[in-house]
């Protein structure tokens, strides 16, 4: 019989093995699932995980998809380290896209890249403002940030719908709920000649570097960590709790806003109703999967982008439902939480007789 026994110390090694284990379990469940649904498991997994990144164009698409996820996740990680549960990256992303688009549409004929800078900044500020609402309510009235950020997600989604059906709708766009395409000045330049990888990916990588410095090299990052691990200790040490709460929410909101504005000015090129296929929620999984560490998150966001790409390709090639992507994401997070148990517990083999002895004890 196998039994779970608490470890004396949390296992450092398991912290890194657990995400890999979760990935393998997800893969195995996926294979079984495909088989049950009547697909060839091998072909299906190949289509899902290998086929999308076989050529340089595939790699380029992977980076395009990874950019918004990475930006959101790296911001969320900062908040989660401080034990501030920002679930609102999705709403902050949408607000960044919405406000950025509103600004971009003011310059329909702009050729100058200064327009772009203005647009990007307004997107970041919008994301910060949206997260700032939660920060204000939490620091001023002690309102639970999980519930406020979730509600703000729904509000942002409805505002976006309102905007594309109303004030920001393209007057020449027939009856489609879309904005006019942005001018050249309000469009992100691509990084390479071929492919769609845009400056956004570079910005995301820069964000990762800055956040890495912040969390592991600065005193501010140390204060956040203490606050996340033990709120009372942070209080006794006199760390500015409210200021830190504001800071982590503004950082995560700003980065999510940047993700949103980069989506509309980059790969999409206009404001559409479905700016994000749930990047903000996927980023929560990525943050955990990457162990709230910048490098881990970089790897995890590439994996998440691959799940998105694979889901799309499998939908086209094999006719699988679009929701498969969501299902894989959910499974991954669940397996991760289950595997994380092994950080604090170990599996030990106990002979039958000794369990009975323990029971009698």
Partner 1 sequence: MDFDVNMLSNLLYAMVRTGTPLLLIALGEMVCEKSGVLNLGQEGMLLMEAVAGFIAALTSGSLIIGVLAAILVGILMSLLFGLIAINLNANQVATGLALTIFGIGLSAFVGSSYVGQPLKGFEPINMGGLTDIPVIGKMLFGQDALVYLSFLLFLGVYWFFRWSRAGLVVKAVGENPHAAEAIGLPVIKTRYLAVMFGGGMAGLAGAYLSLAYTPMWVEGMSAGKGWIGLALVVFASWQTGRVLFGAYLFGLMSILNLVVQGLGFNISANLLNILPYLATIVVLVFLSMNQQRIKMYAPASLGKPFHRSR
Residues that bind partner 1 (CB under 8 A): 4, 6, 85, 87, 137, 141-144, 146-148, 150-152, 154-155, 158-159, 161-162, 165-166, 281, 284-285, 288, 321-331, 333-334, 336-338, 340-341, 344-345
Residue with Cβ nearer partner 1 (21 or 146): 146
Smaller CB distance to partner 1: residue 162 or 213? 162
- Which of residues 58 and 177 has its CB atom nearest to partner 1 in the complex? 177
Contact 131, 88 (CB under 8 A): yes
| 318-338: b (≥16 Cβ within 10 Å) or e | bebeeebbbbbbebbbebbee
| Cα 65 to chain centroid, rounded | 11
Using CA atoms, how far apart are residues 312 and 318, in angstroms rounded to an integer? 10
Token pair recorded at residue 306: 């691959």
Give the C-alpha separation, 305 to 302, whole Å: 5
| 8 Å CB contact between 126 and 100 | yes
Tell me if residue 308 falls in helix, strand or coil. Answer: helix
Smallest gap, in angstroms, from Cβ of residue 6 to partner 1? 7
Beta carbons within 8 Å of 299's beta carbon, 6+ residues apart = 290
Q: How far is the CB of 335 from partner 1 (least distance, A)?
A: 9
Q: How far is the CB of 324 from partner 1 (least distance, A)?
A: 6
Based on CB atoms, which residue is closest to partner 1, 121 or 331?
331
d(CA 17, CA 337): 12
Which is closer to partner 1, CB of 142 or CB of 353?
142
The minimum distance between CB 237 and partner 1, in angstroms, equals 22
The residue among 107 and 288 lying less far from partner 1, judged by its C-beta, is: 288
Residue position matching structure tokens 């790969």: 267
Nearest distance in Å: CB 313, partner 1: 17
CB of 5 to partner 1, least distance (A): 11
User: Residue 122 or 149: which CB sits closer to partner 1?
Assistant: 149
Residues 331 and 228: their CA atoms lie apart, in Å, by: 26
Shortest distance (Å) from residue 141 CB to partner 1: 5
Q: What distance in Å separates the CA atoms of residue 51 and residue 316, rounded to the nearest whole number?
A: 12
């Amino acid at each position: 019989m196998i039994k779970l026994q608490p470890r004396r110390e949390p296992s450092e090694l398991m912290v890194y093995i657990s995400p890999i284990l979760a990935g393998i379990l997800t893969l195995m469940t996926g294979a079984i699932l495909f088989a049950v649904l009547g697909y060839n498991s091998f072909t299906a997994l190949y289509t899902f995980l290998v086929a999308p990144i076989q050529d340089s164009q595939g790699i380029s698409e992977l980076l395009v998809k990874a950019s918004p996820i990475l930006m959101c996740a790296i911001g969320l990680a900062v908040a989660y380290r401080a034990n501030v549960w920002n679930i609102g990256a999705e709403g902050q992303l949408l607000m960044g896209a919405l406000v950025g688009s509103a600004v971009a549409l003011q310059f329909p004929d702009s050729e100058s890249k200064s327009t772009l800078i203005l647009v990007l900044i307004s997107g970041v500020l919008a994301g910060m403002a949206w997260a700032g609402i939660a920060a204000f309510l939490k620091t001023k009235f002690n309102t639970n940030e999980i519930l406020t950020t979730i509600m703000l997600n729904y509000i942002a989604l409805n505002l976006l719908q309102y905007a594309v059906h109303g004030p920001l709708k393209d007057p020449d766009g027939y009856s489609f709920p879309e904005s006019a395409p942005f001018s050249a000045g309000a469009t992100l330049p691509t990084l390479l000649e071929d492919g769609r990888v845009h400056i956004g990916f570079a910005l995301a990588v820069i964000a990762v570097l800055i956040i890495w410095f912040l969390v592991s090299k600065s005193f501010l990052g140390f204060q956040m960590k203490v606050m996340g691990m033990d709120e009372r200790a942070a209080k006794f040490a006199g760390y500015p709790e409210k200021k830190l709460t504001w800071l982590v929410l503004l950082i995560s909101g700003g980065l999510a806003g940047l993700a949103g504005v980069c989506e509309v000015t980059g790969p999409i090129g206009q404001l559409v109703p479905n700016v994000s296929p749930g990047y903000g929620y996927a980023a929560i999984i990525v943050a955990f999967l990457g162990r709230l560490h910048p490098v881990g998150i970089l790897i995890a966001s590439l994996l998440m982008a691959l799940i998105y790409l694979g889901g799309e390709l499998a939908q086209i090639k094999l006719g699988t439902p679009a929701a498969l992507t969501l299902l894989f994401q959910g499974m991954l997070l669940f397996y991760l939480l289950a595997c994380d148990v092994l950080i604090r517990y170990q599996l030990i083999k106990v002979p039958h007789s000794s369990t009975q002895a323990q029971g009698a004890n």
